[in-house]
Structure 1
Amino acid sequence: MSEAQSLPTSTAAKATTENFKAFVSGGFGGVCAVLVGHPFDLTKTRLQTAPSGTYTGAIDVVKKALARDGLSGMYRGIVPPLLGVTPIFAVSFWAYDASKKLILAATPKRASEALSTAELAAAGFLSAIPTTAVTAPVERAKVQGQGGSEQKYKGVFDVMKHLYKEGGLRSIYRGSGATLARDGPGSAAYFAAYEVTKKALTPAGSSPSELNLGAIVFAGGMAGVAMWALAIPPDVLKSRIQSAPTGTYSGFMDCARKTIAADGVSALWKGFGPAMARAFPANSATFLGVEASRYLLDKYI
């Protein structure tokens, strides 16, 4: 085989390896995020989906969960996100890397290979599109598993079986539009904030790609804060659509209208406290897991 023939093969193999690394490191980061953030997420979901007056606030949710189920009650519903988190975060980080390459390919006459903040945000938004195909059913199962005081299901497979029996794949994927409405802008803010913050914290003469634990932890936390500063209203609507009985809402806008009519505009910000409390530690853990695993993969593969 000539050098000209082997070059494309070598390039394709390198691209496949890079895709694999992005996929695996994203999944590992997601596991870290769930282990750290699930109690906060459970609190947020219950505040968003419970009838008005059920809880006085986030602390009340925690107190009642601990009184009823003990510490394990704060991890109810963790199996669906743990089972789904690897593909969700793996696809998200793979799609983000792919989207950055797509932007570079679409702008060949560039002065610099470094993406602007707007381009990073665009890549983040694009990453949410394929990720929604995995996120929506996992979120649907998670919301069903977390909601209410009664243990309705025996586990994640029981949840999925019930949802499929209720309305097939359409039931399992209920809330997909709301999920994308949350994760599109949220991912744009998420990845852009991480890259910009990490670059700002990188010492002069060093590269942001080098492993700097302090910068990673802080930038990851700020990425989570940036995302959830935008994502709470669509997240509230997503949680309500996915937890309500069939036929309650005809769609995203119908849910918004009925939520505001019943509980006021402030209802769109339910769960803001737990979400923001979760945002920094969970996403610090996410990016630390992503960067550390990527460092090891680059070293040994």
Structure 2
Amino acid sequence: MGVKGFVEGGIASIVAGCSTHPLDLIKVRMQLQGEAAAAAPPPALRPALAFQTPSSSVAQNVRLTPPPPRVGPVAVGLRIVQQDGFAGLFSGVSATVLRQTLYSTTRMGLYDILKTKWSDPNTNNMPLTRKIVAGLIAGGIGAAVGNPADVAMVRMQADGRLPAAQRRNYKSVVDAISQMSKGEGVASLWRGSSLTVNRAMVVTASQLASYDQIKETILDKGLMKDGLGTHVTASFAAGFVASVASNPVDVIKTRVMNMKVEPGVAPPYAGAIDCAMKTIRAEGPMALYKGFIPTISRQGPFTVVLFVTLEQVRKLLKDF
């Protein structure tokens, strides 16, 4: 029963991940908008250009130049297609496949095991508090397992926004992991892992627990029968809950994972808290909800495809 849960969850997660990858790519690009201003040192630490007369006014203008205007998800998507063609929307998809294979297969399988152990034998339902705890445990362990693929995916998705000379140009997820290990050390594969684990715990607890809870409520109250309509309704609601809960952690995770660390140079962010504070100071608190539209646009369809596929795979494998 345990292995079956991993297989079912893995298949559903890979299908959902690949089908919604373009939306995830747009989300990452939007989360990195305005990052240069956040990562830059404060004015007091910058070279004192104001003393270089007569160009002091020019230096002042440089410091006061407002950040570039934020671009919406449609414009970001069109820009990707214009620069890299339609295939550009699937940049880093190999990393998505590996990430779903490691992270989502683990979290879905573990959640299924805990659900089986903790459910009431009479009703076959699990109390909401136990659902949340099961989601927190399963999400945390899954994220720790899948972090290398997560770092590679973020970097591959972010690469296209850089000038050609600054791109990392990873050929595949294997190449990305290999280059990171050689150039930055094996520890770089777990960069931002605390954020990944925190985000995964929030996403899994909110997504899986709310899906199960909403589905059970719909069926118990006789609002709908156990079919596609119920699965889609519960999935969309679960996707919304997961998006609202996880977006701030997701923005910080993306920026920490994507930062360039060079020998002898202080990294842009000292850690998650530093990244959050710099982002809020430079761009305001709502910067933590950058990319929310593509996040909900992806999380909704992703959750629907995930659970609808999962329910169908369960039917196909019910005799095994």
**TM-score (structure 1 length as normaliser):** 0.85
Q: Does 1:82 align with 2:104?
A: no
- Report the aligned-residue RMSD: 2.3
Q: Does 1:137 align with 2:148?
A: yes
What does residue range 10-159 of structure 1 map to in structure 2 within 5 Å?
18-51=1-34, 52-53=67-68, 55-101=70-116, 103=118, 114-147=125-158, 148-149=161-162, 150=164, 152-159=169-176
User: 245, 250, 253: which is aligned to 1:230?
Assistant: 245
Q: Does 1:169 align with 2:152?
A: no
User: 272, 280, 285: which is aligned to 1:260?
Assistant: 280
Larger mean Cα displacement after TM superposition, 137-146 or 247-256: 247-256
CA shift in 2, pair 1:248/1:103, >3 Å: farther
1:179-211 residue CA offsets vs partner (Å, 9 max, x unmatched): 122121221111121012212332768998xx6
1:123-158 residue CA offsets vs partner (Å, 9 max, x unmatched): 111111210123321110011101124452222222
Q: Distance in 2 between matches of 1:153 and 1:186?
A: 28
Measured after TM superposition, the shift of residue 30 of structure 1 is 0.8
Match of 2:269, SS?
coil
Q: Distance in 1 between matches of 2:122 and 2:15?
A: 37
Q: Does 1:200 align with 2:234?
A: no
Q: Does 1:244 align with 2:259?
A: yes
CA shift in 2, pair 1:137/1:54, >3 Å: farther
Q: Distance in 2 between matches of 1:287 and 1:215?
A: 11
Q: Which residue of 2 aligns with 1:5?
A: none
CA shift in 2, pair 1:25/1:125, >3 Å: same
Measured after TM superposition, the shift of residue 166 of structure 1 is 2.5
Measured after TM superposition, the shift of residue 173 of structure 1 is 0.8
Q: Which residue of 1 aligns with 2:56?
A: none
Q: Kindly indicate whether the alpha-carbon contact (under 8 Å) linking 2:218 and 2:224 is maintained by their aligned counterparts in 1.
A: no
Q: Kindly indicate whether the alpha-carbon contact (under 8 Å) linking 1:236 and 1:269 is maintained by their aligned counterparts in 2.
A: yes
CA shift in 2, pair 1:217/1:270, >3 Å: same
Q: Kindly indicate whether the alpha-carbon contact (under 8 Å) linking 1:136 and 1:176 is maintained by their aligned counterparts in 2.
A: yes
The one-letter code matched in structure 1 to 2:24 is D
What does residue range 211-230 of structure 1 map to in structure 2 within 5 Å?
212-230=227-245
Q: Distance in 1 between matches of 2:122 and 2:211?
A: 23
Q: Does 1:294 align with 2:294?
A: no
Match of 1:245, SS?
coil
Q: Kindly indicate whether the alpha-carbon contact (under 8 Å) linking 2:181 and 2:188 is maintained by their aligned counterparts in 1.
A: yes
Q: Kindly indicate whether the alpha-carbon contact (under 8 Å) linking 1:44 and 1:58 is maintained by their aligned counterparts in 2.
A: yes
Larger mean Cα displacement after TM superposition, 215-224 or 139-148: 215-224
Larger mean Cα displacement after TM superposition, 230-239 or 282-291: 282-291
Q: Which residue of 2 aligns with 1:186?
A: 203
Match of 1:224, SS?
helix
Gaps of 5+ in 1: 1-17
Measured after TM superposition, the shift of residue 113 of structure 1 is 5.4
Q: Which residue of 2 aligns with 1:273?
A: 293
Gaps of 5+ in 2: 35-66, 262-266
